[in-house]
Amino acid sequence: MKINKTIKKGLWAVLITVVLFFGILIFHIITAKPAIYETPNLQVSRIDFKENIDSASGKKICADLRSIKGLTSDSIIVKRNVVVYFHNNKITNSKKVFNELMSKGQYDAQRYILPANLASKEVCPVDQNSFSYKLSQKINRFFN
C-alpha cells in the first residue's frame, strides 16, 4: 500500500517534534541545578490574642511585627485571634519578637509554646520508608 505524501510528511513532522522535545527535556534534566534556599534558618512562631482581632488592629499588629528585625513583611498571617509569623532564628527568636511586640502596643496576648509531647514529634508529612520517596531520592541523587 502506498501512503499518501501528506500523511508521510505529517508523521515525519510529529516524529521530529517529539524527538526535539525529548532532547530539550533531557538537556534540562542534565543541566538543571538543585534549588539553593537562602533562608535555611526560617522558623515559624505563634502569638495567641485574647481579644478579637479586627482588620484595623490586624493591620496595626502586622505593621508592628514588620518593624521588628528578623521578620519579613510577607510572612505574617493573622486569623482567628492568632498571629503566625516566620522569623530567621539566627537574628531573633520568638521570645524577643513577643517582647518587642508587647512594647510597641498594649496587647492582651500570650506567646504560644509547643507542648512537650508535640515537641518531639516528626513534622515531615512524607513517609520516608515508602517506595516512591526512595525512588525519587535515587533519581535526584543520580542527576545531582
In this structure, what CATH number is given to the domain that contains residue 51? 3.30.70.100
Q: What pLDDT, on the 0 to 100 scale, is given for residue 115?
A: 83
pTM for the whole structure: 0.57
Q: What pLDDT, on the 0 to 100 scale, is given for residue 90?
A: 85
Say how far apart CA 20 and CA 22 lie, in whole Å.
5
Confirm whether 144 is domain-assigned.
no
Domain match, 78 and 101 both: yes
Confirm whether 87 is domain-assigned.
yes
Confirm whether 140 is domain-assigned.
no
Which backbone phi and psi does 43 adopt, to 5 degrees? -130, 145
CB 48 within 8 A of CB 81: yes
Confirm whether 14 is domain-assigned.
yes
Domain match, 81 and 60 both: yes
Say how far apart CA 17 and CA 23 lie, in whole Å.
10
83 forms beta bridges with: 47, 78
Confirm whether 142 is domain-assigned.
no
Domain match, 111 and 55 both: yes
List the chain pLDDT tens, one digit each, 144 residues.
Answer: 567 888 999 999 999 999 999 999 989 888 877 777 665 677 888 899 888 888 888 888 888 888 888 886 666 777 888 888 888 888 888 899 899 999 988 888 999 888 888 777 766 677 778 888 888 888 878 776
Domain that holds residue 24: 1-32
